[in-house]
Each structure stands twice: as C-alpha cells, then as structure tokens.
Amino acid sequence: SWYGYHYYDIPPGAVDPTEYQKWGFANAVVYNPILGLIKASFVITLLKLRSPNRRINIALWSIFSANALFTIAAPLVCAFQCRPVSKFWDKTQPGTCIDPANYTYGTISVVLITDVAVVAMPTWILHNLRMPFRKKAMYISFLSFGLAVTGIGAYRLYVFVNLFTNRIHDPDASYGVRQGLSNVEVSLASIGACGGTVKWLLGRCIPVFRDEETPR
C-alpha cells in the first residue's frame, strides 16, 4: 500500500490498484464487526455490575441489541455493496455499487451514536454510588476511555466528508493520516474496553492510582 510514503517516493508500478482495492475491501468488511464486538464486550462488563436501576439495565440491553444488529448488518452491506462483488476492486466490470458516500456516512454515524451511548453509561451507573469523589471520578475516567474513540470517529467522518465532496484535494494522500485512522480507532477502542484493568495495572506501579482493591 506504501502508506507513509510521499507519492514521489513510490516507485512507478509499485502499487497494484486491484490488489490495493482488495485489501481495502477486506479491511472495510471487518472494521465494523471488530468495533461492534469490542463495544459488546464493554457493555457486557457493565451489565455484570448488576445495577439495581431498572432504567440503566434497559438502556444497556438496548445498546447491546442495537450494536449487535449493526455488527451483523454492516459487514453484510459492505461485502455485497457491489453486484458482482468483484466490481468493488475492478471498476471495469459491468454491474452496480451503492453510493459509497451514503454508506460511509451512515455507518460512521451509527458508530458515533453507539459510541456516545456506551461512553455515557459508566457515568450514569457510578454517579449515585456512595464512594469518595476522587475514587468515583477516577473510575469514571478510566471507564470513559471511549471518548478518545468517539473523537477519532468524528474526525474520520470529517475526513470522509471532505474526501467525498472534494473540498480538499491532497495529491500526497498516501503520506497522510487518513489511511491509518480506522486502525487507530480500533486500537483505542480495545484499550478503552479494558479501562478498569488499565487502572488496576497502573495501580500496581503508580501510587496515585492505588486503592484498597489494588494488590501491593
């Protein structure tokens, strides 16, 4: 793919357009399921807290269900967005494809909405618990790492809007950050889903993060 190289440093003929599109297709198909499974894991963790608040449990199950449906539907739509499928990487073939802008805007919007819903839940669950404010704020902070994921997702939407509307023409796109945003987003989501564990690990090394539950 030669990501990270200036266009003038890429040898002529080094990039096979068909192979490039095939890898892009594979990445697009698995992107939403990966994020969806990470979110599902985090929601299950919150469900295990067994909040006595019925509305919280309804909200968690609603988020889980909506996320599950999207996790199943998004890759199917992505995989079969072209008829035949191979038209995705070979535009010379006869056939049709759905509008990539509408698909991208739609999926990123759903991801952002579920991101915000998931990130808001730890605060809702913990804000009424009786514990020292410092400890409560620390737990909420670590369980809200997903805010960084939401920020990356919002920036991805901004980048794609500019891309599809041709507001910004970048001849040196291979050297930009756009190609790596989805990987950064997935990586941050994985870290965010482990927020509680990250706090525990930091507590083993940094005294300020320790509490009575952290082994000495």
Q: Which of 114, 109, 118, 111 is nearest to 195 (CA)?
A: 118
Higher-confidence residue of 182 and 48: namely: 48
Q: Is residue 169 over pLDDT 70?
A: no
Render pLDDT for 60-88 as a digit per residue (tens, 0 to 9). Answer: 999 999 999 999 999 999 999 999 999 99
pLDDT at 214: 47
- CA 200/CA 198 separation, integer angstroms: 5
pLDDT at 209: 64
- CA 165/CA 100 separation, integer angstroms: 12
List, as one string, the DSSP characters of the chain: --TTS-GGGSPTT-S-HHHHHHHHHHHHHHHHHHHHHHHHHHHHHHHTT--S-HHHHHHHHHHHHHHHHHHHHHHHHHHTSEESGGGGT-TTSS-EE--HHHHHHHHHHHHHHHHHHHHHHHHHHHTTS-S-HHHHHHHHHHHTTHHHHHHHHHHHHHHHHHHHHTSS--TTGGGSSGGGHHHHHHHHHHHHHTHHHHHHHHHHH-GGG--TTS--
Domain ranges for the chain: 12-209
CA torsion 48→53→54→55, rounded to 10°?
Answer: -100
Sign (positive or negative) of CA dihedral 145, 151, 157, 162: negative
Higher-confidence residue of 142 and 50: namely: 50
Higher-confidence residue of 115 and 49: namely: 115
Query: Which residue is listed with tokens 């482990």?
Result: 194
pLDDT at 215: 47
Query: Which residue is listed with tokens 């191979």?
Result: 86
Q: What is the pTM of this model?
A: 0.79
Percent of the chain whose predicted confidence (pLDDT) is above 70: 85
Q: Which two tokens stand for residue 147?
A: 């805010």
pLDDT at 4: 75
Highest-scoring range by mean pLDDT, 23-37, 114-128, 181-195? 23-37
